[in-house]
Structure 1
């Protein structure tokens, strides 16, 4: 288990495969045949046609959530990244900020780098406030970009942070992502590092210190956007 500020425990990489059910005999063709759900990646939780039974099974998770956070007008200003700045140096030299408003979702993203010309740390943070459907139903679905582009993902639960939180790492833990579900919102905070060794007068660090900084800065961002 990841503790704040350190990690312990083992990564859970096992994934279960589910076999398809055999076809019914010809003489029972008129009877209903159960077929497995088609699950898609990249945030698409179920196939485009969702039967009434599936809707019933999802229950309250299909209802609009009660939002506990406000939409941000400038995420790069709300996200101060104090803990990460202590490791990487000033991250706000050239921020890139974007927001989108939609009847179903208010989203915002911010990209920060510790060096405007030759960065060795890049930080990406985004927020998504789900106004129509509870996001908990798809929280465990991995990003299709991560699966295709990085692979070898390792994920561990982070206790005592929102309703649920997970830390994912890849590429020898030089890529780290903290994802949090809370109050109808999903937060992602991601770091890409060229190296954790000493570089360009930046002191060496380790992945545990970076993960602790991610958790600390995530807590601060959530507090800043809390209603």
Structure 2
């Protein structure tokens, strides 16, 4: 409810600024003041400082940062899988036959180029012994990813001990020196080793796995033997590192 103006002083109340103090000295009685010439300069300086601070803040918050990762010359103009020779692993286990089919999958995108190769190895004789119908096989899986818009370093470090089945506390992770910007070698309990390398925007992995298969003659595998044991893959880790060096050199244009 709006009050009546006459009850509150309201609209007819005199303005305090209009009340004159007769005891106050007149302008003629006041002592003259020295002009404050520095005030204008101080305000100008303060304004410049504030403007600079605001500009710097705006630049940090709004200016686009150049986060495009360096690919260090890596290119995926075509599928590299048919040309991967695996010389060191082939010498240690079994050479790859050029006519063997390769399961390769390639992605081309403005933000990411990626390819995946799966190569099978079956040594003849020696470790490929067929004992009671069991045969020993090896596979090499290679993944190459070129991140062209975002830096993959944080994700690479976060997943350093992550396997295909998730984070496994039993997986041993060892840093490999002198290989890319950062490299890790994972030894897993599922009869596999994986070498992962980060260099700029390029992320590469080479996974070596061993498995035994039973040549079924209709009778099935022996009941007492269970699954055939596969050999330790640790002796092949230097060959994996050597082939990774060759792979990285071959991908640089």
Smaller-chain TM-score range? 0.5 to 0.7
Deviation at 1:138, TM superposition (A): 1.1
Deviation at 1:94, TM superposition (A): 2.7
Where 2:177 maps in the other structure, the secondary structure is coil
Where 2:249 maps in the other structure, the secondary structure is helix
Q: Structure 1 stretches (4+) deviating beyond 4 angstroms?
A: none
User: Which residue, out of 70, 80, 88, partners 1:66?
Assistant: 70
Structure with the larger RCO, 1 or 2 (CA within 8 Å, 6+ apart):
1
Q: CA RMSD for the aligned pairs?
A: 2.8
Matched, 1:99 2:96: no
Unaligned runs of 5+ residues in structure 1 are: 1-54, 196-203
Matched, 1:221 2:230: no
- What TM-score, normalized to structure 2? 0.56
Matched, 1:120 2:120: no
Q: Distance in 2 between matches of 1:90 and 1:168?
A: 23
- What TM-score, normalized to structure 1? 0.62
Matched, 1:184 2:201: yes
Where 2:238 maps in the other structure, the secondary structure is helix
Q: Distance in 1 between matches of 2:78 and 2:197?
A: 20
Q: Distance in 2 between matches of 1:139 and 1:158?
A: 14
Matched, 1:145 2:164: yes
Deviation at 1:75, TM superposition (A): 2.5
Aligned residues: 159
Q: Deviations over 1:100-152 (max 9, x none)?
A: 11121000111001139x6610110010000010111211222463326x662
Contact 1:113 1:121 (C-alpha < 8 Å) held by counterparts = yes
Unaligned runs of 5+ residues in structure 2 are: 1-59, 124-134, 213-229
Larger Cα-atom Rg? 2
2:187 matched residue in structure 1 = 169
Greater helix percent: which structure?
Answer: 2
Where 1:194 maps in the other structure, the secondary structure is strand
